[in-house]
């Protein structure tokens, strides 16, 4: 092969990036230096790979070249001062040394990648900054691409990332190989961040869904990467499964006008069966460990929805039970609210309404609470109360799609009461 | 003689393809497959889900179930073709055609000893 497609090289650089930047960060203990070293290695790759063909191990190649270029630079800067004798040959690693470097990386790279992801989840960083930082550093998206996905200007995003980096630099994440407890804490923080990235894309409204979709795809790529590093972690299987199952529905979630289509009304033939197959396979694997957790339970719920060919085939009874389990491990009024929807299908709207009444004080400013409450009231024929709930929901809507969806209910109520009124008038 | 062409590639790399890149590769591969189908030489073809979806059963006593693929390798088994060829040279030609459509990674060409086409009509979407 004499010519290599640049798109091919891009994909190779992207896939090698987390491991390469992670290793370079371990060498230099400084994010900017590591990123710059990787950047320089990429430039070399673009120059030499098209002629020489791709190296067998792209990540090892990038790590070595990145490290050598950076060390050369340090030496050049020190030229004025006398050079220590043993510094001479560092940049001339021969093949044997190269192999040693590669083996070293092989044993470290799991923690390297985890550390790289983990420094983005610094507790003091707001969620949006964590996500932006991870997309820049780990995924290697350009500031322009990230700004586009977040619907902000490039300058604003540049500033946000620079600020986040400064915070991270102060944080002093330890570079020693983490112990078991530390590792599992890191893993949980990273999983939560990947879920945030996904949600940033998933909660988009219809008019921006296409622009923000790459966020969902990137989150899935990172989840798969994490799972490959930690093959036996049931919660990472659960997380990956959950993202795949939710993303499988993306083609069916919005109508031509960009309005949100609820699960019950989606054209299920548009669901991506390949992603569903992978998601179901992963939750199957996870359940075998009998170490339940919030991601697994949510994935199991999503899997039950995916398995139903028609909405009426949905196993609501099982979903009710799973939400019950989720309430135990992750108690939250939002989980109870979701459970109530399942309860309304199994035991009727009356029971469901009773279940959510106690949540009112805590969810007084939550759009979905009033949307769901309105729907239950409507089912029970309590139209005036339903209208009040829907009005409140519209006032609290976060996206135009959410508001449009509630307006549809209100229009229906209006039509019904007009029809009833004209009948009564005759 | 039937040959299995086992497809090995870096999964991270394949996973970094955009949807468009993936579709373009599949389209090019379909051309090669169509040619073989017309010649009546193409048997079953499978693309496997990522190794993260894999589980391994070690046949110890009692058998041990492990998460992940059988072997941790730089390049992973991602799929396979069964092709009818007169000899190794022909099988290598097929592999070269497939390789031109989907560069990178490696094909392992293995003669098939026993082949049962099976009757499961279930085809994944």
Lookup result for tokens 């500031």: A143
What pLDDT, in 10s, does the model give residues A130-152? 899 999 999 999 999 899 888 88
Is the CB of residue B10 less than 8 Å away from at least one CB of chain A?
yes
Handedness of CA A205, A208, A213, A215 (dihedral sign): negative
Q: Scanning every residue of chain B, which has its alpha carbon at the shortest distance from the alpha carbon of A106? A: B74
**Residue A24 falls in which region: left (phi positive, over 0), alpha (psi -120 to 50) or beta:** alpha
Q: What is the pLDDT of residue A303?
A: 97
Main-chain dihedrals φ then ψ at residue B64, nearest 5 degrees: -110, 130
B25 lies in some domain: yes
B67 lies in some domain: no
Residue A402 has pLDDT above 60, yes or no: yes
Confidence grade of residue A90 (pLDDT, cut at 50, 70, 90): very low
What pLDDT, in 10s, does the model give residues A247-262? 999 999 988 877 788 8
B63 lies in some domain: no
B10 lies in some domain: yes
In whole angstroms, what is the distance from residue B93 CA to residue B79 CA?
18
Within a 13 Å sphere around the CA of A246, how many CA atoms are in the beta-carbon half? 21
Cis status, amide bond into B62, omega within 30 of 0: yes
In whole angstroms, what is the distance from residue A392 CA to residue A415 CA?
20
What pLDDT, in 10s, does the model give residues A15-72? 899 999 999 998 888 888 999 999 999 999 999 988 887 788 888 999 999 999 888 8
Residue A99 has pLDDT above 90, yes or no: no
In whole angstroms, what is the distance from residue A133 CA to residue A125 CA?
10
H or E element that contains A48 = helix A31-52
Distance from CA of A309 to the nearest CA of B (A): 14
Choose, out of B58, B64, B67, the residue to mutate when testing the contact with A (most A CBs < 10 Å): B67
Q: What is the pLDDT of residue A80?
A: 60
Question: Would you list which residues of chain A are within 8 Å, Cβ to Cβ, of chain B?
Answer: 1, 4, 7-8, 11-12, 14-16, 54, 56-58, 217, 221, 224-225, 227-228, 231-232, 237, 240, 273-274, 277-278, 281-282, 285, 288
In angstroms, what CA-CA distances link B13 with A138, A153, B55, B78? 15, 31, 21, 12
Average pLDDT over residues A181-202: 90
In whole angstroms, what is the distance from residue A331 CA to residue A333 CA?
7
Q: Which two tokens stand for residue A212?
A: 């923000």
Main-chain dihedrals φ then ψ at residue B44, nearest 5 degrees: -65, 145
Average pLDDT, chain A: 87
Confidence grade of residue A82 (pLDDT, cut at 50, 70, 90): low
User: For chain A, what are the domain ranges?
Assistant: 365-426
Task: Look up the domain containing B89 and give its range.
Answer: 2-48+74-111
Instruction: Give me the residues paired with residue B84 across strands.
Output: B2
Confidence grade of residue A180 (pLDDT, cut at 50, 70, 90): confident
B49 DSSP assignment: P
Residue A86 has pLDDT above 50, yes or no: no
- When divided into structural domains, chain B yields a total of 1
> How would you label A129-147 residue by residue, b for 16+ Cβ within 10 Å and e otherwise?
bbbbbbbbbbbbbebebbb
**% of residues, chain A, pLDDT over 70:** 90
B44 lies in some domain: yes
Residue A69: name the closest of A95, A91, A46 by CA. Answer: A91
In angstroms, what CA-CA distances link A322 with A88, A235, A316, A330, B10? 63, 15, 10, 12, 37
**Contact check, Cβ <8 Å, A224/B15:** yes
Q: What is the pLDDT of residue A231?
A: 92
In whole angstroms, what is the distance from residue A350 CA to residue B30 CA?
55
In whole angstroms, what is the distance from residue B60 CA to residue A205 CA?
52
Distance from CA of A379 to the nearest CA of B (A): 37
Distance from CA of A52 to the nearest CA of B (A): 14
ipTM exceeds 0.95, yes or no? no
Q: Which residues 59-118 on chain B approach chain A with CB closer than 8 angstroms?
A: 65-68, 74, 103-104
> How would you label A354-384 residue by residue, b for 16+ Cβ within 10 Å and e otherwise?
ebbeebeeebeebbbbbbbbbbbbbebebbe
Residue A185 has pLDDT above 80, yes or no: yes
Average pLDDT over residues A277-292: 96
> Which residues of chain B have a CB within 8 Å of the CB of A56?
74
Q: What is the pLDDT of residue A333?
A: 94
Residue A88 has pLDDT above 60, yes or no: no
B60 lies in some domain: no
- Considering only the top CATH level, what class is A365-426? mainly alpha
Name which residue leads in pLDDT, A399 or B60. B60
Q: What is the pLDDT of residue A2?
A: 40
Q: What is the pLDDT of residue B62?
A: 94
- The answer to whether A244 touches A227, Cβ cutoff 8 Å, is no
Confidence grade of residue A346 (pLDDT, cut at 50, 70, 90): very high
Q: What is the pLDDT of residue A241?
A: 98
> Which residues of chain B have a CB within 8 Å of the CB of A57?
74
Q: Nearest by CB to A15, which of B15, B52, B65? A: B15
What pLDDT, in 10s, does the model give residues A362-381? 999 999 999 999 999 999 99
Handedness of CA A91, A92, A93, A95 (dihedral sign): positive
With a CB cutoff of 8 Å and minimum separation 6, the contacts of A309 are A268
Q: What is the pLDDT along chain B (125 residues), one digit of tens a residue?
A: 999 999 999 888 888 888 888 999 999 999 999 999 999 999 999 999 999 999 999 999 999 999 999 987 888 999 999 999 999 999 999 999 999 999 888 999 999 999 998 888 777 75
B76 DSSP assignment: E
Q: What is the pLDDT of residue A183?
A: 87
Q: What is this structure's pTM? A: 0.86
Q: What is the pLDDT of residue B55?
A: 96
CATH value at residue B10: 3.30.70.1060
**% of residues, chain A, pLDDT over 90:** 56
**Contact check, Cβ <8 Å, B55/A15:** no
């Amino acid at each position: 092969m004499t010519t290599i497609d640049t798109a091919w090289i891009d994909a190779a650089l992207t896939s090698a990036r987390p491991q390469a930047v992670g290793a370079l960060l371990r060498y230099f203990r400084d994010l900017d230096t590591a990123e710059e070293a990787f950047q320089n290695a990429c430039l070399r790759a673009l120059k030499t790979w098209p002629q020489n063909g791709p190296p067998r191990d792209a990540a090892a190649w990038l790590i070595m070249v990145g490290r050598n270029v950076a060390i050369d630079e340090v030496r050049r800067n020190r030229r004025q001062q006398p050079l220590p004798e043993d510094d001479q040959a560092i940049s001339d690693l021969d093949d044997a040394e190269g192999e040693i470097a590669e083996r070293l990386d092989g044993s470290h790279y799991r923690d390297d990648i985890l550390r790289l992801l983990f420094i983005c989840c610094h507790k003091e960083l707001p969620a949006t900054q964590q996500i932006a930082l991870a997309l820049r550093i780990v995924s290697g998206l350009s500031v322009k691409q990230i700004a586009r996905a977040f619907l902000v200007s490039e300058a604003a995003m540049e500033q946000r990332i620079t600020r986040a980096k400064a915070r991270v630099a102060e944080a002093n994440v330890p570079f020693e190989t983490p112990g078991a407890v530390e590792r599992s804490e890191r893993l949980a923080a990273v999983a939560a961040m990947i879920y945030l990235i996904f949600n940033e894309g998933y909660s988009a409204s219809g008019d921006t869904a296409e622009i923000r979709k790459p966020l969902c795809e990137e989150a899935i790529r990172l989840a798969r990467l994490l799972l490959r590093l930690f093959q036996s972690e049931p919660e990472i299987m659960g997380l990956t499964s959950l993202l795949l199952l939710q993303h499988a529905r993306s083609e069916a979630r919005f109508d031509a006008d960009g309005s949100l289509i609820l699960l019950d009304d989606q054209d299920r033939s548009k669901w991506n069966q390949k992603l569903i197959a992978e998601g179901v396979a992963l939750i199957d694997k996870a359940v075998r460990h009998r170490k339940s957790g919030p991601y697994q339970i949510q994935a199991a719920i999503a899997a039950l929805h995916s398995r139903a060919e028609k909405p009426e085939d949905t196993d609501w009874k099982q979903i009710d039970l799973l939400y019950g389990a989720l309430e135990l491990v992750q108690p939250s009024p939002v989980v109870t609210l979701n459970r109530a929807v399942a309860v309304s299908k199994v035991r009727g709207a009356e029971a469901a309404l009773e279940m959510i009444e106690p949540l009112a004080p805590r969810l007084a400013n939550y759009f979905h609470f009033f949307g769901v409450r309105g729907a239950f009231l409507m089912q029970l024929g309590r139209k005036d109360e339903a209208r009040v709930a829907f009005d409140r929901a519209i006032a609290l809507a976060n996206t135009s799609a959410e508001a449009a969806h509630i307006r549809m209910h209100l229009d229906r109520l209006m039509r019904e009461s007009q029809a009833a009124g004209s009948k009564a008038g005759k | 003689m039937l040959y299995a062409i086992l497809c090995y590639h870096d999964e991270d790399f394949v996973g970094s393809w955009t949807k468009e890149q993936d579709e373009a590769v599949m389209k090019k591969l379909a051309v090669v497959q169509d040619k073989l189908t017309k010649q009546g030489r193409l048997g079953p073809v499978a693309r496997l889900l990522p190794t993260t979806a894999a589980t391994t059963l070690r046949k110890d006593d009692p058998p041990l179930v492990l998460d992940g693929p059988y072997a941790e390798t730089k390049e992973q088994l991602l799929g396979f073709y069964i092709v009818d060829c007169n000899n190794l040279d022909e099988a290598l030609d097929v592999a070269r055609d497939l390789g031109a459509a989907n560069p990178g990674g490696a094909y392992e060409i293995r003669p098939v000893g026993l082949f049962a086409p099976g009757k499961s009509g279930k085809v994944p979407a």
